[in-house]
Amino acid sequence: MGQCPLVKAAQSQHGIGLGMTDKEDQIVKQIPHLRRYAAALLRDRDAADDLVQDCLARAFDRLHLWHPSGTMRTWLFTILHNLHVNQTRKRGREPVIRSDTENLERQPTPSDQDTGLVARDLVNALEQLPDEQRSVILLVGLEGLSYADAAEVTGAPVGTVMSRLSRGRERLRQIMDSQPETPLRRIK
């Protein structure tokens, strides 16, 4: 094989090409995206990674069921979505009430230090949205899924996805608009 010796050496060092299936490879490529989505969905990074872990375990388990007619990404996000829905259903809808200070101390979003204040406000606002609106906003806006793919992942018709997206974004806008400029709460 006319391969560059440097490449060859690096490959043997890392064991590339030794029985790694294409399917597994495709799953691994999606892990950063699954983690990003789960982090935004749950905010708690440990819980998010646990969810991704469950999703991957299930995916590797059922890999033989996956058919290349669909995309691996949609398949994985569907598994993750269903796991999340089941978990929240089991837990019941515990209303999470936290003060803003607690939010900042206990719920570090990724790279809190250099995340802009606006971005942080938005992340806080997102938490006030119903789960199904938040999912769609994140699948479409953060992960760049098409409306059809987001519909497949959430198991809802495209029209429903569109209205969740539209209502969710408008609600976020209202929350952001009512946010005071200073950390002080406006007294009505």
Partner 1 sequence: MSPPITEAELQAYVDDALDADARARVEDWLAEHPDDAQRVADYADQVQSLRQAYDPVLDEPIPSRMTANTGQRRTSRLLPSWRQLAAAVVLLAVGGAGGWVLRDVWTGFGKDGLNVAQIAISAHSIYVAEKRHAVEVEAKQEKHLVAWLSKRLGQPIKAPSLLTLGYRLVGGRLLPDDGKPAAHFMYEDEQGKRLTVYVRRNIQSRETAFQFVSDKGVSAFYWIDEDFAYALVGTLNRDGLHEAAKIIHRDLASKR
Instruction: State which of residues 106, 130, 155, 176 lies at the interface with partner 1 (CB under 8 A).
Output: 176
Instruction: State which of residues 115, 127, 132, 156 lies at the interface with partner 1 (CB under 8 A).
Output: 115
- Regarding 96 and contact with partner 1 (CB under 8 A), the answer is no
Identify which of residues 15 and 95 has a Cβ nearer to partner 1 in the complex.
15
The SS3 call for residue 143 is coil
- CA–CA gap between residue 24 and residue 22 (Å, rounded): 5
Amino acid identity for residue 90 in this structure? K
Listed residue (1, 90, 82, 87) closest to 44, CA to CA: 87
Identify which of residues 111 and 188 has a Cβ nearer to partner 1 in the complex.
111
The SS3 call for residue 135 is helix
Identify which of residues 87 and 115 has a Cβ nearer to partner 1 in the complex.
115
Helix boundaries (H) for the chain: 5-14, 22-42, 45-61, 72-91, 100-106, 117-126, 131-137, 147-154, 158-177
- CA–CA gap between residue 170 and residue 188 (Å, rounded): 22
- Regarding 142 and contact with partner 1 (CB under 8 A), the answer is yes
Distances (CA, A) of 134 to 15, 61, 84, 169, 182: 40, 28, 12, 9, 26
- Regarding 141 and contact with partner 1 (CB under 8 A), the answer is yes
- DSSP letter, residue 185: P
Instruction: State which of residues 8, 12, 28, 68 lies at the interface with partner 1 (CB under 8 A).
Output: 28
Binding mask 34-63 for partner 1 (x = CB under 8 A): -xx--xx--------x--xx--xx--x---
Residues that bind partner 1 (CB under 8 A): 6-7, 10, 13-16, 18-20, 24, 27-28, 31-33, 35-36, 39-40, 49, 52-53, 56-57, 60, 109-111, 114-116, 118-123, 126, 137-138, 140-142, 146-147, 162, 165-166, 169-170, 172-173, 176
